C-alpha cells in the first residue's frame, strides 16, 4: 500500500522517479508526488489522481539529481493535493514520503503545534518531517533516528533535506523498503519493480533498520546506530515480466499466463519415479513433517480462498485435519498454537499486514510457520520458517489471478508430499501426479474458450447482483468468483456453498439476479443439479461452469461454459479460470479500470 521511490546519482531524478512511481502505481493510486532537490531548495509537485496526472503538471526539465516520490492509498485524510505526499516540515527544507500509519500522530501533532508548527494536511505523515526538523543539526541520518524514537505504528519512509544534497535516508518498521545498488547511482523503493530498469542488485531492509544512501553507496544501521551487515540479492526476473506486451491490460495478460505460471510452480518439484513432491524450501526434516497432526492456514482475500482449497485437499487426500482462517480474525483471537500443528501463511505479495502480524503472533507462541509467497524476498517469505515460492512472476493487476492458481499448485504439491508419507499408495500417487501435470494444458483449453465467456459477460454485465454457488472444493472457487466480479466490476456478488442457498440467499433469486453454478462431475454433481432446479423454478437465470459433454447441466442452464473433464480433485484449477474471465469481461463491458479498481491497492500493508 503506497509506493515509495528515491533516487540519487548523476542523472536527472524526475524522470526516474516518475517512471518508478508508474511501476508502483498498483500499490495505491489516489494521488502522487515528488520532491526533487537542488542544493538549498526542494521542488515539490503533488497531484490528486494517477501518475499520469502528476506527470502532466511536473515541469519537463525539472533539474536536480536526487529526490523522492510517492503514490498514495489514503488512510488518514481525504484524497486531495494537500494530503498527497511528499510532506514538508514547516521550513520547507525537509521532505518525507511515508507508507504505513503513525498511530500516535495526534499526540505528536499536538506537541508540535504547541511548539508553533502549523500543519497543512490532515495526514498522520506530516508529523514526521516536523519531528525530524526538531532534531536536525546538520546530520540528516541522526535527526531521522532521533525522530523515529517518537513514532508508534508502521512506516517505510524516505527523507531528503535541501541542505544535504545527494543524501537520502530511509527507515523501515512494518512497511517494506528495498535498496537498489546501481553504477554510480542508488535507489530506494518499497518494491523492486520500481528499480528493475536500473539495477538488479538489491538489499532488503528489515524492521528497525535505517539506511543512508548517496550516489557512492549505502550504509545500514539499527535505530541505535549500530551497523547492520546486509546481504545483496540479485533479482532474477526481467523488465519485460512487468510490461503488458500486446495485452490491453495486466489482468488479461496474467489470466492468459496461467498455463506457464502453473507449470513453473510445479517445475522441478515432482519426483515421478516415487510419485511424490520435492519441496526444498520447507526447511523441516521428514520426521517433523510426518508428525504434523493438523495444518492451519492463514491468509487474506484470494490467498485465503487458495488456503480453503488447500485445507480441503489436505484433509481428503493426505488425511490431515486442516483449516484455513482469515489472518485478520485469527490474530485477535488469542489462538491456541498446538505443538503438532504446522502453519502456513499464504500471501502473493508477502507483505499483507494482517497475515504478517498473525504469523508473528503464531511464531511468538512457538508455532512453525511456512510461507507460500510469490514475491521473492518479501517480509513473510523472509520471516517464515521456510516455505514455497510459487514463482508466478510479478503480478501487477490488483485482482489476483495467476498467483491464485500457483498457490493452489503449492498446496497440491504439499498435499502429495504429505499423503505419500502417510496412506497414499505409489499407484494412487502416480495418478495424482499425472493429473497435476495435466493442469497447464487443461487451463490452456479453458482459455481458448474466451470468446464465448466474453459473450456471456456482455449478456450479464448490467445485472446488479450475482450469486456464485459451489460445493466441496468448488465452494472456495465460488467465493473467489464472487470476489473477482465485485472487485473489478463493482457488481454486487455473493459466494455461497450451494447447500446453503435454501437457508436464506434463495430469497434474492429473481429474473434480475444471475446465479453462477460451478458443477464438476464429482460426487456432488446431483446435489448441485437439484440446487440449480430450485433456482430455475424461481425464474433465476443460470450460468453453469461445467464439464464438456454434460448435457443435463447444459440443458438446465441458460448459459453453459464447458471445461475439460479432469480428475475431480483438480477442478479448482480449471473452473476458476472461466470465473476470472467472466469478471474481466463484465468489467470491461462496463468500462471499468480493470487493473486498478477503485478504492483498492495491490499490497495491503496496513491493518
Q: How many residues bind ligand F6R (CB under 6 A)?
A: 14
Q: Of these, 325, 418, 487, 559, which contacts ligand F6R (CB under 6 A)? A: 487
> CA–CA separation, 169 vs 148, rounded Å?
12
Secondary structure string (H, E, C) spanning 526-568: HHHHHHHHHHHHCCCCEEEEEECCCHHHHHHCCEEEEECCCCH
Which residue is nearest to ligand F6R, using beta carbons? 301
- The residue (of 304 and 571) whose beta carbon lies closer to ligand F6R is 304
In angstroms, rounded to a whole number, what is the distance separating the alpha carbons of residues 517 and 375? Answer: 33
Three-state secondary structure of 54-81:
HHHHCCCCCCCCEEEEEEECCCCCCCCC
Which parts of 446-485 interact with ligand F6R (CB under 6 A)? 483
Considering 2, 50, 373, 402, which one is annotated as catalytic?
Answer: 2
Shortest spacing between CB 347 and ligand F6R, in angstroms: 3
Q: Per CB under 6 A, does 175 bind ligand F6R?
A: no
The smaller minimum CB distance to ligand F6R, of residues 19 and 487, is found at 487
The minimum distance between CB 170 and ligand F6R, in angstroms, equals 22
Q: How far apart are CA 362 and CA 354, in angstroms?
A: 12
The CB-side HSE value for 238 (13 A sphere, CA atoms) comes to 3
At its nearest, how many Å lie between ligand F6R and the CB of residue 487? 6
- Min. distance of Cβ 300 from ligand F6R in angstroms? 4
Q: Report the distance separating Cα 68 and Cα 98, nearest Å.
A: 10
Shorter beta-carbon distance to ligand F6R: residue 189 or 300: 300
Give the Cα separation of 340 and 337 in Å (integer). 9
How far is it, in rounded angstroms, from Cα 188 to Cα 96?
A: 13
Q: Are 292 and 367 in contact (CB under 8 A)?
A: no
Q: Pinpoint the alpha helices (H) of 196-300.
A: 250-256, 258-266, 286-290
CB of 209 to ligand F6R, least distance (A): 22
Residue 302 found at the interface with ligand F6R (CB under 6 A): yes
* Shortest distance (Å) from residue 373 CB to ligand F6R: 8
Footprint on residues 492-521 left by ligand F6R (CB under 6 A): none
Tell me the Ramachandran region of residue 518: left when phi exceeds 0, alpha when psi lies from -120 to 50, beta otherwise: beta
Between 175 and 349, whose beta carbon lies closer to ligand F6R?
A: 349
Nearest Cα to 520, choosing from 495, 494, 544? 544
Residues paired with residue 381 on neighbouring β-strands, in sequence order = none
Subset of residues 208 to 267 that bind ligand F6R, contact rule: CB under 6 A: none
- Per the annotation, the verdict on 586 as an active-site residue is no
Q: Based on CB atoms, which residue is closest to ligand F6R, 66 or 304?
A: 304
From 301, 367, 540, 597, residue interacting with ligand F6R (rule: CB under 6 A): 301
Let me know how long the chain is. Answer: 607
140 vs 255, which CB is nearer to ligand F6R? 255
Min separation Cβ 69 and ligand F6R, Å: 23
Query: What is d(CA 362, CA 334) in angstroms, rounded to the nearest whole number?
Result: 9
Segment contacting ligand F6R (CB under 6 A): 35-43, 294-302, 315-323, 521-529? 294-302
For residue 317, the SS3 value is helix
Task: Please say which residue, 173 or 328, places its beta carbon nearer to ligand F6R.
Answer: 328
326 vs 444, beta carbon nearer ligand F6R: 326
Q: Which entry of 50, 484, 486, 602 is annotated as an active-site residue?
A: 602
- In the bound complex, what is the minimum distance in angstroms from residue 237's beta carbon to ligand F6R? 17
Rounded CA-CA distance 16/36 in Å is 11
Binding piece for ligand F6R, criterion CB under 6 A, among 49-57, 59-67, 298-306, 461-469: 298-306
Q: Would you count residue 604 as binding ligand F6R (CB under 6 A)?
A: yes
Q: Cα separations (Å) of 480 from 49, 366, 400, 518?
A: 29, 32, 10, 12
CA-CA distances (angstroms) from residue 120 to 50, 65, 83, 161, 607? Answer: 22, 27, 8, 19, 26
Nearer to ligand F6R, 44 or 482 (CB): 482
What phi and psi, each to the nearest 5 degrees, are found at residue 201?
A: -90, 115
Q: Are 99 and 175 in contact (CB under 8 A)?
A: yes
- Taking the C-alpha atoms of residue 270 and residue 427, their distance in angstroms, rounded to an integer, is 15
**Residue with Cβ nearer ligand F6R (100 or 182):** 100
CB of 197 to ligand F6R, least distance (A): 23
Residue from 303, 405, 489, 580 in contact with ligand F6R (CB under 6 A): 303
333: cell is 483471537
Residue written as grid cell 497475515: 355
Compute the least distance from the CB of residue 265 to ligand F6R, in Å.
15
- For every residue of 463-484, DSSP letters joined together read -SEEEEEE-TTHHHHHHHHHHH
Do the Cβ atoms of 297 and 344 come closer than 8 Å? yes
Decide if 373 is catalytic.
Answer: no
Q: Which segments of 275-424 are extended strands (E)? A: 276-277, 294-299, 322-326, 341-347, 368-373, 386-389
Task: Name the residue nearer to ligand F6R (CB basis): 176 or 514.
Answer: 176
Query: 172: closest CA among 379, 329, 326?
Result: 379
| Shortest Å distance, C-beta 211 to ligand F6R | 24
By CB under 6 A, what part of segment 388-427 binds ligand F6R?
Answer: 399-400
Q: Rounded CA gap, 180 and 182, in Å?
A: 6
* Per-residue interface string for the shown chain with ligand F6R, residues 338-367, x marking contact by CB under 6 A: ---------xxx--x--x------------
598 burial type by CB count under 10 A (0-12 exposed, 13-18 middle, 19+ buried): exposed
Q: Which residues are catalytic?
A: 2, 602
What residue ranges bind ligand F6R (CB under 6 A)? 300-303, 347-349, 352, 355, 399-400, 483, 487, 604
Amino acid at each position: 500500500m503506497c509506493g515509495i521511490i528515491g533516487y540519487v546519482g548523476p542523472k536527472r531524478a524526475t524522470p526516474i522517479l516518475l517512471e518508478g512511481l508508474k511501476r508502483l502505481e498498483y500499490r495505491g493510486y489516489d494521488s502522487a508526488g515528488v520532491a526533487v532537490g537542488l542544493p538549498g531548495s526542494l521542488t515539490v509537485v503533488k497531484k490528486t489522481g494517477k501518475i499520469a496526472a502528476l506527470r502532466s503538471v511536473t515541469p519537463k526539465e525539472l533539474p536536480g539529481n536526487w529526490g523522492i516520490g510517492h503514490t498514495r492509498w489514503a488512510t488518514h485524510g481525504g484524497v486531495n493535493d494537500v494530503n498527497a505526499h511528499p510532506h514538508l516540515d514547516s521550513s520547507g527544507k525537509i521532505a518525507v514520503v511515508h507508507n504505513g500509519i503513525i498511530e500516535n500522530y495526534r499526540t505528536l501533532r499536538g506537541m508540535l503545534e504547541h511548539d508553533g508548527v502549523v500543519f497543512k494536511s490532515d495526514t498522520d505523515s506530516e508529523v514526521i518531517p516536523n519531528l525530524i526538523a526538531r532534531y536536525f543539526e546538520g546530520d540528516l541520518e541522526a535527526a531521522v533516528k532521533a525522530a523515529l524514537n517518537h513514532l508508534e505504528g508502521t512506516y517505510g519512509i524516505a527523507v531528503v533535506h535541501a541542505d544535504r544534497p545527494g543524501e537520502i535516508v530511509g527507515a523501515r518498521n512494518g512497511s517494506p523498503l528495498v535498496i537498489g545498488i546501481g553504477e554510480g547511482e542508488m535507489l530506494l523503493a518499497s518494491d523492486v519493480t520500481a528499480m528493475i530498469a536500473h539495477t538488479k542488485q538489491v538489499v532488503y531492509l528489515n524492521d528497525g533498520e535505517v539506511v543512508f544512501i548517496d550516489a557512492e553507496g549505502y550504509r545500514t544501521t539499527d535505530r541505535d546506530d549500530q551497523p547492520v551487515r546486509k546481504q545483496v540479492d540479485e533479482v532474477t526476473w526481467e523488465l519485460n515480466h512487468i510490461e503488458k506486451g500486446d495485452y490491453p491490460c495486466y489482468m488479461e495478460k496474467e489470466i492468459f499466463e496461467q498455463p506457464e505460471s502453473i507449470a513453473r510452480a510445479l517445475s522441478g518439484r515432482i519426483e515421478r519415479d516415487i510419485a511424490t513432491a520435492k519441496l526444498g524450501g520447507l526447511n523441516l526434516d521428514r520426521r517433523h513433517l510426518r508428525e504434523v497432526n493438523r495444518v492451519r492456514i492463514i491468509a487474506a482475500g484470494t490467498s485465503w480462498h487458495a488456503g480453503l482449497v488447500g485445507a480441503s485437499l489436505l484433509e481428503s487426500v493426505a488425511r490431515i485435519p486442516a483449516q484455513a482462517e482469515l489472518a485478520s480474525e485469527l490474530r485477535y483471537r488469542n489462538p491456541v498454537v498446538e505443538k503438532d500443528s504446522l502453519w502456513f501463511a499464504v500471501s502473493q505479495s508477502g507483505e499483507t499486514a494482517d497475515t504478517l502480524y498473525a504469523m508473528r503472533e503464531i511464531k511468538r507462541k512457538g508455532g512453525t510457520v511456512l510461507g507460500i509467497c510469490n514475491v521473492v524476498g518479501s517480509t513473510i517469505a523472509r520471516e517464515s520458517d521456510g516455505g514455497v515460492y510459487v514463482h508466478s512472476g510479478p503480478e501487477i493487476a490488483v485482482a489476483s489471478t495467476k498467483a491464485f492458481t500457483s498457490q493452489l499448485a503449492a498446496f497440491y504439491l504439499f498435499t502429495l508430499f504429505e499423503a505419500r508419507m502417510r496412506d497414499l499408495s505409489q499407484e494412487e500417487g502416480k495418478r495424482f501426479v499425472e493429473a497435476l501435470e495435466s493442469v497447464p494444458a487443461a487451463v490452456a483449453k479453458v482459455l481458448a474458450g474466451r470468446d464465448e465467456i466474453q459473450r456471456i459477460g456482455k449478456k450479464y454485465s448490467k445485472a446488479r447482483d450475482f450469486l456464485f454457488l459451489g460445493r466441496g472444493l468448488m465452494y472456495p472457487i465460488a467465493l473467489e468468483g464472487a470476489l473477482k466480479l465485485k472487485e473489478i466490476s463493482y457488481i454486487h456478488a455473493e459466494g455461497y456453498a450451494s447447500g446453503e442457498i435454501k437457508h436464506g440467499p434463495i430469497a434474492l433469486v429473481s429474473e434480475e439476479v444471475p446465479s453462477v453454478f460451478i458443477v464438476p462431475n464429482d460426487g456432488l454433481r446431483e446435489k448441485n443439479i437439484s440446487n440449480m432446479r430450485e433456482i430455475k423454478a424461481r425464474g433465476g437465470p443460470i450460468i453453469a461452469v461445467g464439464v464438456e459433454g454434460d448435457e443435463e447441466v447444459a440443458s438446465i442452464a441458460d448459459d453453459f461454459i464447458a471445461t475439460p473433464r479432469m480428475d475431480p480433485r483438480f477442478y479448482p484449477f480449471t473452473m476458476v479460470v472461466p470465473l476470472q474471465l467472466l469478471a474481466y469481461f463484465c468489467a470491461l463491458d462496463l468500462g471499468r479500470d480493470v487493473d486498478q479498481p477503485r478504492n483498492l491497492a495491490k499490497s495491503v500493508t496496513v491493518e
